[in-house]
A and B are shown apart, each in its own frame.
Chain A
Amino acid sequence: MTTDVSTIYLLDVATGGSIEAELRDAIEQAQLDDWQVKWQPALLAVLQDLARNGVPMSQWPQSWHWNWAQKTAQVQGLLAFRGFSVVACGETQGLAQVDLRKAGREPSQVGKPLVYLDYLEVAPWNRPELGPAPRMRGVGSALITAAVALSVDEGFKGRLGLHSLPQADAFYRKIGMTDLGQDSAYQNLSYFEMTVEQARAFLEEE
């Protein structure tokens, strides 16, 4: 399967200008390599800093203990899973993986198929919670846009579901998703859904 590449734009936080980027509808070896040799060391440096400064673990950033190589190997060849990546300046800036087998829980779409955002992570150097100067903005939004667009493309009409990281709850509310409360089956992460209407508004907003 060939990878489709869409041109997108990110915000350069330092200059306020734009950065041309690629939204790719796959996670490939180059992304796994970036994750291993660029994301991991960057994250490690932050963690060492936190540990040195005695920051309690409960205040540490989320998503630092995840092995992409393992996960992609597990879902290789399965139609139910799709990956997305954002690449800019020759580096992977964000990754996402979706699962197409899940169904809605929000009252208007109970049991109807949706795109479930299995995993979304932005490169450590773009994450505002990891340091004072994130480089690019728009990576997470682009990956969510891709997931909603895929939902439309697959005939799921934009329906989307995800378990939010606690620090990200406010963002999902801001983009109009419905908060369906904490999910005890998922470490009490809040579960959010985007309805057909919400997806339409999200994709059209100009």
Chain B
Amino acid sequence: MVAKRTMTLNLTDAEMRVLDELSVRKDITKTAVLRQALRLYQTIDARVDKGEKLLFENEATKEKAELMLL
């Protein structure tokens, strides 16, 4: 296992609630939720940095919505 370091996070109640919910819904630990968030954020940031846009497409209507980032 890769050595990991411990860090204290300061989260509001609302944030904590979201973290709890995601942890249950995704069936992963809270730490795993945050690590997954970091991976996704990095992926998106790297692509936006290259000049790409982040779009969500509604599969039924084909409607696209741009998610603003940075």
Contact = CB atoms under 8 A, between A and B. Distances in A.
Contact of B36 (A25, A113, A153, A157): A113
Interface of A: 1, 4, 25, 78-80, 100-101, 109, 111-113, 153-157
Contacts of A4: 1-2
Interface of B is mostly: helix
Contact of B26 (A100, A111, A154): A111
Contacts of B26: 111-113
Contacts of B1: 4, 153
B28 A156 contact: yes
Interface in B2-35: 2, 25-29, 31-32, 35
A100 B32 CA distance: 11
A101 B26 CA distance: 12
Interface of B: 1-2, 25-29, 31-32, 35-36, 38-40, 42-43, 46
A157 B39 contact: no
B35 A154 contact: yes
Kindly name the residue among B27, B31, B40, B42 whose own CB sees the greatest number of chain A CB atoms within 10 A: B27
Contacts of B2: 1, 4, 25
A4 B2 CA distance: 8
Contact of B32 (A101, A109, A156): A156
Nearest to B42: A79
B29 A155 contact: yes
Given A109-B27, A111-B26, A155 B42 contact: no
B39 to A, nearest CB: 4
A5 to B, nearest CB: 13
Given A4-B2, A100-B36, A113-B26, A155 B31 contact: yes
Nearest to B43: A80
B47 to A, nearest CB: 10
A196 to B, nearest CB: 8
B1 to A, nearest CB: 6
A157 B39 CA distance: 18
A109 B26 CA distance: 9
Contact of A101 (B28, B39, B46): B39
Contacts of A155: 28-29, 31-32, 35
The 10 closest A-B pairs by CB, nearest first: A155-B32, A80-B39, A79-B39, A155-B29, A155-B28, A112-B27, A80-B43, A112-B26, A79-B42, A113-B28
